[in-house]
């Protein structure tokens, strides 16, 4: 273990990190434990004069070029900060059909999540909302702790985000049980490895998990993408009883939140309707129309991250790289693990 000195808003302290085996995410989690600044809101600078570090959480810590005794300046992104009351309460794919989706949103297919810092955009006076039939569709922010999808589902179906790990177990049990649907080809890795990974609190969920949970709860899960306004709908598969209801999640590119309907503004959380009857099978359903408007509102605040298109450069061979997927592939092929945004 090597000492790394942190200079942050609360003062100065030293943490211990393993320069050989830690990932960037491991460092971010240590900083979070020391400073209470969520990984997605951390901005790190090192060197003299201090320069910003490009954080790709799944890459090895060596990608940051840190040395024993290094000093890091840790700040919180002001445009991404959330009121403390909201933080304590809570931290995608193409349109889903009845066949299991296999898009890049299945984040649990990677060993560790890639989580570039995301901006968050609740209103200063509270979460964002839009008016809809019967009340207001409210953006319900959950913790940015790599279990956001599971926390959102727990909030919607169990009314308790603390049951996120229980939701992970539901997914693991379904994949273990349904070997015909959840093949190694669909999962992108051996079944036992996938199950082991998805049970870990640090592993992200995505399209596969949403498909599994739609079946388990016999309820459509509609995920609205903030950047595009697209709604991806995960429905119970043929042969499974459909409750005729749906719920709404908000996807920012690297984070899921829930959206629920409050009868009046400032209604207590337990007054919110988290599961809603489907009024239409199309996107003209009142709650889906409201979901798109909510996405518009968040997009205007740039509350999303496009991880597929941000530009990187390998600092070793100077090759231009687009998005986290190419960064992972390049690191795997070459062993190069130092990237910078440009």
Query: Which of 15, 71, 13 lies closest to 1, judged by CA?
Result: 15
- pLDDT number for residue 203: 84
**Residue 179 shares a structural domain with residue 48:** no
**Residue 205 shares a structural domain with residue 275:** yes
**Residue 119 shares a structural domain with residue 181:** yes
**Residue 11 shares a structural domain with residue 146:** no
How far is the CA of 284 from the CAs of 32, 110, 138, 250, in angstroms? Answer: 42, 35, 19, 18
What are the tokens at 164?
């996120």
What are the tokens at 338?
């130092």
**Residue 133 shares a structural domain with residue 62:** no
Query: Which of 76, 107, 129 is the last residue in one of the domains?
Result: 76
- pLDDT number for residue 109: 35
H helix or E strand, kind and range, residue 173: helix 164-177
Instruction: Kindly name the residue from 128, 145, 232, 257 that is annotated as catalytic.
Output: 145
**Residue 293 shares a structural domain with residue 316:** no
Greatest alpha-carbon span in the chain: 63
**Residue 261 shares a structural domain with residue 223:** yes
How far is the CA of 141 from the CAs of 67, 84, 156, 244, in angstroms? Answer: 36, 12, 12, 25
How far is the CA of 56 from the CAs of 52, 111, 232, 273, 326, in angstroms? Answer: 13, 13, 26, 37, 12
CATH number assigned to the domain comprising residue 188: 3.90.70.80
Instruction: Kindly name the residue from 8, 272, 330, 336 that is annotated as catalytic.
Output: 336
- pLDDT number for residue 308: 62
Residue 317 bears catalytic tag:
no
- pLDDT number for residue 248: 98
- pLDDT number for residue 87: 37
User: What DSSP line would sit under 279-342, residue for residue?
Assistant: S-SSTTSHHHHHHHHHHHHHHHTT----TTT-EEEETTT--EEEHHHHHHHHHHHH----EEE-
- pLDDT number for residue 78: 65
**Residue 280 shares a structural domain with residue 160:** yes
For residue 50, give its domain range.
Answer: 1-76
Write down the pTM of the prediction. 0.60
Query: Which of 177, 231, 171 lies closest to 200, judged by CA?
Result: 171
Residue 255 bears catalytic tag:
yes
- pLDDT number for residue 140: 96
- pLDDT number for residue 319: 87
Residue 8 bears catalytic tag:
no
The pLDDT averaged over each successive group of 10 residues in the chain (342 residues) is 85 88 89 87 79 85 86 75 36 35 33 38 68 92 91 96 96 95 91 93 90 96 94 92 94 92 90 92 90 95 73 80 74 69 56
**Residue 61 shares a structural domain with residue 132:** no
In the chain, how many domains are there? 3
Residue 180 bears catalytic tag:
no
- pLDDT number for residue 231: 95
Interhelix angle 207-217/164-177, rounded to 10 degrees, is 90
- pLDDT number for residue 306: 66
Computed on alpha carbons and rounded to an integer, the radius of gyration of the chain in Å comes to: 20
Query: Which of 43, 76, 109 is the last residue in one of the domains?
Result: 76
**Residue 283 shares a structural domain with residue 321:** no
**Residue 41 shares a structural domain with residue 96:** no
- pLDDT number for residue 119: 40
Instruction: Kindly name the residue from 8, 139, 148, 285 that is annotated as catalytic.
Output: 148
**Residue 3 shares a structural domain with residue 139:** no
């Amino acid at each position: 273990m090597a000492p790394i000195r942190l200079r942050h808003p609360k003062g100065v302290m030293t943490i211990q990190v393993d320069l050989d085996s830690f990932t960037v995410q491991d460092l971010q989690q240590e900083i979070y434990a020391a400073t209470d600044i969520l990984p997605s809101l951390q901005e790190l600078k090192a060197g003299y004069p201090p320069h910003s570090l490009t954080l790709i959480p799944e890459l090895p810590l060596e990608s940051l070029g840190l040395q024993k005794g290094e000093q890091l300046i840790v700040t919180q992104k002001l445009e991404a900060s959330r009121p403390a009351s909201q933080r304590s309460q809570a931290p995608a794919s193409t349109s889903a059909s009845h066949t299991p989706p296999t898009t890049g949103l299945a984040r649990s297919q990677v060993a560790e999540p890639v989580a570039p810092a995301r901006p968050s955009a609740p209103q200063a006076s509270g979460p964002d909302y839009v008016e809809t039939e019967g009340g207001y569709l409210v953006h319900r922010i959950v913790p940015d702790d790599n279990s956001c999808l599971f926390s959102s589902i727990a909030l919607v179906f169990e009314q308790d985000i603390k049951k996120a790990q229980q939701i992970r177990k539901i997914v693991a049990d379904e994949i273990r049980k349904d070997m015909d649907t959840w093949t190694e080809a669909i999962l992108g890795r051996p079944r036992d490895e996938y199950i082991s990974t998805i049970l870990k609190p640090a592993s992200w969920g995505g399209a596969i998990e949403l498909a599994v949970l739609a079946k388990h709860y016999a309820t459509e899960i509609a995920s609205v993408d903030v950047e595009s306004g697209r709604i991806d709908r995960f429905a119970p598969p043929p042969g499974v009883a459909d409750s005729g209801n749906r719920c709404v999640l908000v996807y920012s590119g690297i984070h899921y939140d829930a959206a629920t309907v409050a009868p009046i503004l400032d209604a207590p959380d337990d007054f919110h309707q988290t599961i809603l009857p489907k009024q239409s099978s199309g996107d003209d359903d009142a709650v889906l129309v409201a979901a798109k408007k909510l996405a518009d509102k968040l997009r205007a605040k740039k509350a999303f991250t496009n991880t597929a298109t941000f530009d990187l450069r390998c600092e070793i061979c100077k090759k231009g790289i687009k998005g986290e997927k190419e960064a992972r592939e390049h690191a795997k092929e070459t062993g190069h693990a130092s990237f910078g945004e440009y």
